[in-house]
């Protein structure tokens, strides 16, 4: 459910140069135990990759990508390294501070970040971001209503983190920016733009930072 109109979205999206994600509740349901570390779904990973590809096509440069999570998740590290994202921050207590540091290190303003999140610990970072995408969960309707009242969210997914809510968020952005068909066609090709994008993306060595302020 979009909470900004069709005229506002292009202005917001045109400024986005970075994608930042929470992990638990966004890439998965948020369920964890000692014997079952939180992982990710391939469909969500594909959505993130296609969103990066669309920004590469638009800007002719790779967007900066990070995960900022309060936990230390081996699954997040596996995904971050496999997908060659720029930075993984773990055991974060203050996500706003880390997001600000991330922006400073990459010559960005927080308004140039699209932030994907799910819960209360993410709100200080969401408040300063340029596009706020909430992966919803049943049972949090009053919380989600409050975010709308306070203007802290721009899109609320219909699906949850355990049911491909992140893929939904990515596809919604691609659809609303009129890039979905182009992205699918170019991804289907074995050569060309996607191949060139992948070569550049795979040169990135992921920074792994923990115990941040």
Tell me what the mean pLDDT of segment 78-84 comes to: 98
pLDDT tens per residue across span 116-153 = 999 999 999 999 999 999 999 999 999 999 999 999 99
What is the domain partition of the chain in residue ranges? 8-205
Rounded mean pLDDT, 176-193: 95
Q: Where are the beta strands (DSSP E) in 39-121?
A: 64-68, 87-90, 113-117
CATH 3.40.50.1000 fits 8-205, yes or no: yes
| Average pLDDT of span 184-208 | 96
Whether 69 and 125 have beta carbons less than 8 Å apart is answered as no
What is the dihedral angle through the alpha carbons of 170, 153, 96, 31, rounded to the nearest 10 degrees? -60
C-alpha of 186 from chain center: 22
pLDDT above 60 for 213: no
Average pLDDT over every residue of 29-54: 88
Kindly provide the b/e burial profile for residues 126-153, where b requires at least 16 CB atoms within 10 angstroms of the residue's own CB: bebbbbbbbbbbeebeeeeeebeeeebb
pLDDT of residue 148: 96
> pTM for this structure?
0.96
């Amino acid at each position: 459910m979009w909470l900004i109109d069709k005229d506002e979205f292009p202005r917001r999206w045109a400024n986005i140069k970075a994608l930042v994600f929470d992990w638990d509740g966004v890439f998965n349901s948020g369920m964890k135990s000692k014997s079952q570390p939180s992982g990710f779904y391939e469909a969500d990973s594909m959505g993130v990759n296609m969103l990066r590809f669309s920004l590469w096509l638009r800007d002719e440069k790779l967007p900066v990508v990070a995960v900022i999570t309060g936990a230390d998740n081996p699954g997040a590290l596996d995904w971050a390294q496999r997908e060659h994202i720029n930075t993984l921050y773990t055991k974060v207590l203050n996500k706003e501070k880390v997001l600000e540091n991330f922006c400073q290190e990459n010559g960005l303003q927080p308004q140039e970040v699209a932030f994907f999140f799910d819960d209360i610990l993410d709100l200080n970072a969401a408040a300063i971001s340029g596009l706020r995408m909430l992966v919803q969960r049943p049972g949090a309707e009053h919380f989600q209503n409050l975010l709308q009242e306070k203007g802290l969210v721009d899109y609320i997914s219909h699906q949850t983190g355990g049911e491909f809510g992140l893929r939904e968020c990515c596809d919604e952005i691609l659809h609303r920016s009129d890039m979905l068909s182009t992205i699918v066609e170019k991804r289907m090709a074995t050569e060309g733009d996607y191949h060139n994008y992948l070569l550049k993306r795979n040169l990135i060595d992921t920074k792994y930072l923990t115990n941040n302020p």
